[in-house]
Amino acid sequence: MRYLAVYALLFLSLGYSCSAIASGSLQLTITKAGSLEPEATSEYFAQALRLALSKTSSKSEAIQINHHPDFVNRERARLLVKQGVLDVIWSSSNKEREAELTAINFNLLRGINEYRLLLIRAEDQPRFDTIKTLTDLQTFRIGSGTHWSDTDIYRFNALPVVTSYAYEPMFRMLKIKRFDYMARSVQEVHYELEHYGKADLAIEKNLVIHYPQPIYFFVGKDKGALAERIKRGLEIAQKDGSLDALFFATPNFRKAWDELQQLKRKTIELKVPQ
């Protein structure tokens, strides 16, 4: 009984309710698999969340992660977290997002998303061969999502941006010359070329764009205790190697990591708004 009392006091000090302790369970709701990125990738984030929670769980605690029934985009997902419909999402960060939600400051992707290859029309490679500097790149139009944090970064670096509210139509927009290229992370671009490129698109041969863009878990402002628990669990999982094992077991992450270790391209550095 003494140990149970100590356990209860610990959870109360972190902001958990007595009902949560009594029930011995934790239920969280996240986005439907495949809502925010390809399903295999979203499964990594769900598994990383479960792993972090398991590292700080008692033997008797039952952890249940439920999925929202509908597909939602990132902007909608952030709103649902604010409303308490979703408990956890993962996203890149900016000042606005960190003001509205609680960011768990632990980079989930080891930086592989911070290196962007250019998806272009295959016929345009000779045009891109002339690009050596950021100034050169500023004469080309980039396609980006209306609510993507990347869009703010591109504008901050004076890159002409054409935006779209929806993701999939952007590949058609590129094909019909609404803009000149998309900057896609190494773990995304091969999948996108296979599924949307057909014979019309190609990965540009010489360049890579780089800018800092950590991917964090986010929770609502009223869930500080949950945020602390997730961060502590991620740190434990990183230290014991289980998070790395999960990361490298995700095929497109492993492929992206290996590709980055031997990448020989001209790097164009972008600055991020402070």
pLDDT at 160: 98
List of E strands, the chain: 25-30, 62-67, 89-92, 102-104, 115-121, 142-145, 161-164, 181-185, 201-203, 207-210, 215-219, 266-269
104 and 193 share one domain: no
186 and 168 share one domain: yes
* Domain assignment present for 249: no
222 and 204 share one domain: no
User: 100-158 pLDDT, tens per residue?
Assistant: 999 999 999 999 999 999 999 999 999 999 999 999 999 999 999 998 889 999 999 99
Task: Give the pLDDT band (50/70/90) at residue 197.
Answer: confident
87 and 47 share one domain: yes
74 and 157 share one domain: no
119 and 145 share one domain: yes
User: 65-98 pLDDT, tens per residue?
Assistant: 999 999 888 889 999 999 999 999 999 888 889 9
Mean pLDDT of 198-209: 94
Mean pLDDT of 258-269: 94
Q: Is the pLDDT of residue 8 over 50?
A: no
Is the separation of the CB atoms in 104 and 240 below 8 Å?
no
* Domain assignment present for 246: no
Q: How many domains does the chain have?
A: 2
Which has more pLDDT, 2 or 251?
251
pLDDT at 10: 40
SS3 99: helix
In the chain the first and final C-alpha atoms are separated, in Å, by 51
* Domain assignment present for 219: yes
6 and 91 share one domain: yes
pLDDT at 7: 39
* Domain assignment present for 221: yes
* Domain assignment present for 87: yes
Q: Token pair of 105, please?
A: 């400051």
87 and 205 share one domain: no
pTM: 0.82
Q: Is the pLDDT of residue 11 over 50?
A: no
192 and 230 share one domain: no
* Domain assignment present for 252: no
* Domain assignment present for 247: no
Q: Is the pLDDT of residue 16 over 90?
A: no
Which domain range does residue 184 map to?
Answer: 112-212+262-269
Question: Residue 132 maps to which CATH number?
Answer: 3.40.190.10
Task: Give the pLDDT band (50/70/90) at residue 167.
Answer: confident
120 and 191 share one domain: yes
